[in-house]
Amino acid sequence: MRLTSPMDSEGSPLPWPGGLSAAARAVWAKHDHDSDGWLPLWRHMADSAAVAERLWDEWVPDQVRRLVSAELPGDADDARRLATWLAAVHDIGKATPAFACQVEGLADRMRSEGLEMPLQKQIPDRRLAPHGLAGQLLLQEWLIERHGWPKPATLQLSVVVGGHHGIPPTQAQIHELTRHRSLLRTRGSDDAWRSVQHDLLDAAAQACGIPGRLNPWRDVKLPQPVQALLTAVVIMADWIASNPELFPYFPGERGSGPERIDAAWQGLNLPRPWAADEPDAEPGAHFAARFDLPTDARIRPVQEAAVAAARDMAAPGLMVLEAPMGEGKTEAALAVAEVFAARSGAGGCFIALPTMATGNAMFPRLLEWLGHLPDTRAGTGAHSVFLAHSKAALNEDFAELMRAGRRSLAGIDRDGGADTWQPRTDAQAASAELVAHHWLRGRKKGMLSSFAVGTIDQLLFAGLKSRHLALRHLALAGKVVVIDEAHAYDTYMNAYLDRVLSWLGAYRVPVVVLSATLPSRRRRELAQAYAGARDDDTGFAGVQAAQAYPLITAVAPGGLPGVSAPEASGRGTAVHVERLDDDLERLSRRLETELEDGGCVLVVRNTVRRVVETAAHLRKRFGDEQVTVAHARFLDPDRADNDAGLLAEYGSPDYVAKHGGTRPRRRIVVASQVAEQSLDVDFDLLVSDLAPIDLLLQRMGRLHRHRRGADQDGRPPRLRRARCLITGVDWDAPVPEADRGSRRVYRTYPLLRSAAALEPYLARTDGTGNALHLPEDISPLVQRAYGDEEIGPPEWGEAMEKARADHEKHQAEQHAKADAFLLNPQARPGRALVGWVEAGVGDADDTRRGKAQVRDTEETLEVLVVQRRSDGRLATVPWLSPDRQGRARGGLELPTDTVPDHRSARIVAACGLRLPPEFSNARTLDRAIAELEEQCVPAWQSKDAYWLAGELILVLDEECRSRLAGFELRYTRSDGLEVHRAE
């Protein structure tokens, strides 16, 4: 039975609006000031319930439905009824004087039916009765007075109504409204108001078939995760039912039949969730089919073991997969996700990565995998896909999907600005199996798409007290979550990650965590957080004690973990590690010797300043063409081109051949940390600043990564033995001292522990020392560096202890800072979500400033870069590469008296640049913003300037220079942004 049917389950006419009094029919819910159209409350209640029913049946993943159903005596039928009923009653608080007085004409209509109320200006304290909170109190009263519920039992359901605008009420707000009952019913017409409110609630109960279920539900104690999911479903139903293009307003009672919801649902065209089938093919054949491997290719033992472990688990849960760099962990995670989704009923997958750049690199890999899924190939309908970071609209792959998902709907809800999309052609609609759905966009809704790739921030936001947090939880509760590069997060971020994992475990969300260099203590913390175990739970001791590598750790929600040790793939590299004094001239001479017969060298520095200084010095000896630079301080399109160039020249032999690239005979790449993760590049020699051991090992993963001939004889003779030269340190000091920039980035203690762990392997240029074997030595080195035992020479002891104390103090400060807005753990079942996000941050914001909510970072400033020509006109910077259609992007003239055309404005918006730490100081930041605002182009700030309004524009002169807040800025395509204090 659908709620849009003219008959209820007992064959009686539905009470929408039949059976309602004239006064109840007069209560209004929506009003359009422009057209004077309006929507009665009963109609919006019916629309919302019908939408919730469709969402529950056709969009909510099985994984979510099962979780809610398990808590109710009537199982799946109860869950469906409860969700639709709560959506039906969510706006009952609009049947109050505090709300109804806002539109005088509609208020007069209600007064004529006996519902007396003062004028709006006569109710100064109406702010105490927002309609969500008012509805919560009215629903509680109805359950108590009409159905005999004890007051505590009413809260776990009524709080869904109270929180449907994104923030559940607090105890203080409830108490204050309780003291101002006249806001709910006007004195002198109390009975009339009460009769109307109960009329509407009775009608909703009858329409949703719940009168016979209220007694069994009275004794239910809903866990907080279930309350959050029901709240999110109600929010979605309300947003959809509030869209006047889907559900038109009207002055009377026309348009109330089943065709109303049918037309709206068809117009919305919300894609169904993923319905995964567990693969039954032999693992090798399965990987070949999903990832376009050659038919004779053999999958890695780690990949096969991961799938087997997923199948052996009693229930889908957390899997931590530790394996060397280049072992195909991402492909393993996607294969495991299929198994987990089929068994749990997950309706999608989210892949979380450390940075925007790594997210962009992963997105096409996700699309390729989706293109090989059986239900995609079978044409069963489009899957919704989302790229979850603040610049997703500038990503070409995602932009193509957005074009495929365009529709002629405007103003879907109040989530950001109203977007208007052109309708798709029939050809587009027929061919689009993967779309960025028009409704599933924006910072609050995008993650509700079935498949998403994004930064780790999107996951951490689920642990942040923020508005509409329930929607973020619903978005994750229906998916398999993959967390890549799990070692890359600091104490502050890990506090959020652990809290999110505890909620994901409560939601029974399958999670796959990937890392090549995970400390054993961190492995245990992840498992305990997901399982909801205490820190002193001895059942998890084995997780931390496990020494094997590769290693798979698996734990079901609420269960005990198990560990298994897959075979190694047999791929291995012996890396000879040497000390190298931190002297640029000595580095130049050493590289000249090493590159006598050619070769490709990667030099990794810990700060951009050192990258630029090193590259400038090396160019004096090797020439500009032999030295290239890669770091994060490039324009976004330049950085993307840099990454593509690295892959085209230093990628695997197959990749280079496939993309028409050529490996240089002799080249030096000087890079920052951008080279240490998510880039499949291969160099003959590595030079690296000292870094924490896990990151240093990641960098070593770019050394001799691929086989080049038998015994690496495809490499120059001098470089057939893998070597890593460790620099950035004063090795002659009594205790090795890293350079100031490295200490600022990583702090002293992790650097000292890294040096101590490497001490047995380090050699001077005489070649003495032990070879470091990858992957066998990865885990022992990581555990040694991050363990508690004392390491390093005795004479380092005092310095090590001082650094440790400073490090522990810093970690404690990070924990305390994270706690400020960290979501509380789940309370006992039955405890309502009242005050759930109290003292929160407001909206979780996916911007540079917003990321500071879940990252312990300084606020940074981002600008869009253009160039001023000698004639005074503005243009895009001249060197930008053409777009995918071969159209020029560089040197496009930009008007200053009007808004640039859509394409030009989008190109400017893509030329984002993050200013360096010199601009993070509050005083300098304010000065820079003030100076940039003075240079703004007024025409670009109009409401029509979608891409440019509100953005700060940095204008470079003809020589690509500028002055800002007391600094000289210079940008070059070869080196990116350089900043120097002005004379």
pLDDT for the residue 427:
31
pLDDT for the residue 462:
95
Nearest CA to 421 out of 245, 675, 227 is that of: 245
pLDDT for the residue 254:
46
DSSP 455: E
Q: What whole-number distance in Å separates Cα of residue 501 and Cα of residue 509?
A: 9
Q: What whole-number distance in Å separates Cα of residue 151 and Cα of residue 155?
A: 7
pLDDT for the residue 568:
83
Q: What is the CA angle 752-754-759, rounded to 5? A: 95
Q: What is the CA angle 305-310-315, rounded to 5? A: 155
Q: pLDDT higher for 559 or 900?
A: 900
If DSSP codes are grouped into helix, strand and coil, which group holds residue 574?
A: strand
Nearest CA to 280 out of 344, 335, 350 is that of: 335
Residue ranges matching CATH 3.40.50.300 in the chain:
573-774+790-802
Cis before 17 (ω within 30) = yes
Nearest CA to 890 out of 913, 911, 871, 912 is that of: 911
Overall average pLDDT of the 779-797 stretch: 94
CA 883, distance to chain mean position in Å, is: 27
To the nearest whole number, what is the mean pLDDT of the chain?
A: 89
Q: What whole-number distance in Å separates Cα of residue 979 and Cα of residue 148?
A: 71
pLDDT in tens, 243-300: 999 999 875 444 556 888 999 999 998 999 999 999 888 888 889 889 877 656 688 9
Residue with tokens 């001895």: 538
pLDDT in tens, 613-657: 999 999 999 999 999 999 999 999 999 999 999 999 999 998 898
Helix 62-69 to helix 224-241 angle, to the nearest 10 degrees?
A: 130
Q: What whole-number distance in Å separates Cα of residue 220 and Cα of residue 209?
A: 18
Q: What whole-number distance in Å separates Cα of residue 655 and Cα of residue 649?
A: 9
If DSSP codes are grouped into helix, strand and coil, which group holds residue 602?
A: strand
Q: What whole-number distance in Å separates Cα of residue 647 and Cα of residue 614?
A: 22
pLDDT in tens, 119-176: 999 998 999 999 999 999 999 999 999 999 999 999 999 999 999 999 999 999 999 9
Residue 920's pLDDT band (boundaries 50, 70, 90)?
Answer: confident
For the ranges 529-538, 578-587, 750-759, which has the lowest average pLDDT? Answer: 529-538
pLDDT for the residue 14:
52
pLDDT in tens, 90-109: 999 999 999 999 999 999 99
Contact in structure between 803 and 479 (CB atoms under 8 Å) = no
pLDDT for the residue 296:
60
pLDDT for the residue 794:
94
Residue 377's pLDDT band (boundaries 50, 70, 90)?
Answer: very low
pLDDT in tens, 318-352: 999 999 988 899 999 999 999 999 999 999 999 99
Residue with tokens 């280049």: 326
Q: What is the identity of the amino acid at 879?
A: W
For residue 97, give Cα distances in angstroms to 204, 570, 914: 21, 75, 50
If DSSP codes are grouped into helix, strand and coil, which group holds residue 862?
A: strand
Is a pLDDT exceeding 80 seen at residue 767?
A: no
pLDDT for the residue 886:
92
The number of residues making up the chain comes to 983
pLDDT for the residue 76:
97
Residue with tokens 């002005």: 982
**For residue 547, which phi and psi values (nearest 5 degrees)?**
-110, -5
Contact in structure between 144 and 154 (CB atoms under 8 Å) = yes
**For residue 189, which phi and psi values (nearest 5 degrees)?**
-130, 30
Nearest CA to 617 out of 589, 595, 645 is that of: 589
pLDDT for the residue 8:
43
* Residue 897 burial by Cβ neighbours in a 10 Å radius (0-12, 13-18, 19+): exposed
Other residues' Cβ atoms within 10 Å of the Cβ of residue 111? 17
Q: What is the CA angle 175-180-186, rounded to 5? A: 145
- In percent, the amount of the chain with pLDDT more than 70 equals 92
Contact in structure between 404 and 454 (CB atoms under 8 Å) = no
Q: Which residues of 238-247 are buried (b: 16+ CB within 10 A; e: fewer)?
A: bbbbbbeebb
Answer yes or no: CATH 3.40.50.300 is held by domain 573-774+790-802. yes
Question: Residues with Cβ < 8 Å from 131, sequence gap 6 or more?
Answer: 91, 93, 94, 96, 98, 99
If DSSP codes are grouped into helix, strand and coil, which group holds residue 60?
A: coil
pLDDT for the residue 11:
41
345 token code pair: 């009923």
Overall average pLDDT of the 185-210 stretch: 94
Residue 538's pLDDT band (boundaries 50, 70, 90)?
Answer: confident
Is a pLDDT exceeding 90 seen at residue 434?
A: no
Q: What is the identity of the amino acid at 855?
A: R
Q: What whole-number distance in Å separates Cα of residue 821 and Cα of residue 476?
A: 20
What secondary structure does DSSP assign to 217-233, as a single string? HHT----HHHHHHHHHH
For the ranges 85-99, 410-424, 934-948, which has the lowest average pLDDT? Answer: 410-424
Contact in structure between 200 and 175 (CB atoms under 8 Å) = no
Q: What whole-number distance in Å separates Cα of residue 62 and Cα of residue 344?
A: 8
What are the start-end ranges of the H helices in 163-244?
171-178, 190-207, 214-218, 224-241
Q: What whole-number distance in Å separates Cα of residue 585 and Cα of residue 825?
A: 55
**Which CATH architecture group holds 23-268?**
Orthogonal Bundle (1.10)
Nearest CA to 117 out of 188, 176, 39, 181 is that of: 188
Residue 421's pLDDT band (boundaries 50, 70, 90)?
Answer: very low
Q: What whole-number distance in Å separates Cα of residue 29 and Cα of residue 38?
A: 8
For residue 452, give Cα distances in angstroms to 145, 347, 455, 615: 46, 12, 10, 37
Q: What is the identity of the amino acid at 691?
A: A
For residue 189, give Cα distances in angstroms to 97, 816, 886: 11, 52, 72
If DSSP codes are grouped into helix, strand and coil, which group holds residue 879?
A: coil
166 token code pair: 């994104």
For the ranges 362-366, 488-492, 896-900, which has the lowest average pLDDT? Answer: 488-492
Residue with tokens 């060397």: 324
Strand partners, 353: 455
pLDDT for the residue 410:
38
Q: pLDDT higher for 859 or 555?
A: 555
- Sort strands 349-353 and 551-555 into parallel, antiparallel or unpaired: unpaired
**For residue 552, which phi and psi values (nearest 5 degrees)?**
-120, 125
End-to-end CA distance of the chain: 78
Query: Helix (H) and strand (E) counts for the chain?
Result: 37, 28
**For residue 291, which phi and psi values (nearest 5 degrees)?**
-120, 20
Is a pLDDT exceeding 50 seen at residue 419?
A: no
Cis before 716 (ω within 30) = no
Nearest CA to 238 out of 314, 134, 166, 154 is that of: 166
pLDDT in tens, 200-227: 999 999 999 999 999 999 999 999 999 9
Is a pLDDT exceeding 50 seen at residue 601?
A: yes
Q: What whole-number distance in Å separates Cα of residue 508 and Cα of residue 457?
A: 21
Is a pLDDT exceeding 50 seen at residue 408?
A: no
Residue with tokens 């409204």: 177
pLDDT for the residue 9:
42
pLDDT for the residue 847:
54
Nearest CA to 21 out of 210, 251, 200 is that of: 200
* Residue 358 burial by Cβ neighbours in a 10 Å radius (0-12, 13-18, 19+): buried
**For residue 30, which phi and psi values (nearest 5 degrees)?**
-130, 145
pLDDT in tens, 445-481: 889 999 999 999 999 999 999 999 999 999 999 999 9
Q: What is the identity of the amino acid at 471?
A: L
Other residues' Cβ atoms within 10 Å of the Cβ of residue 793? 11
Residue ranges matching CATH 1.10.3210.30 in the chain:
23-268
pLDDT for the residue 407:
47
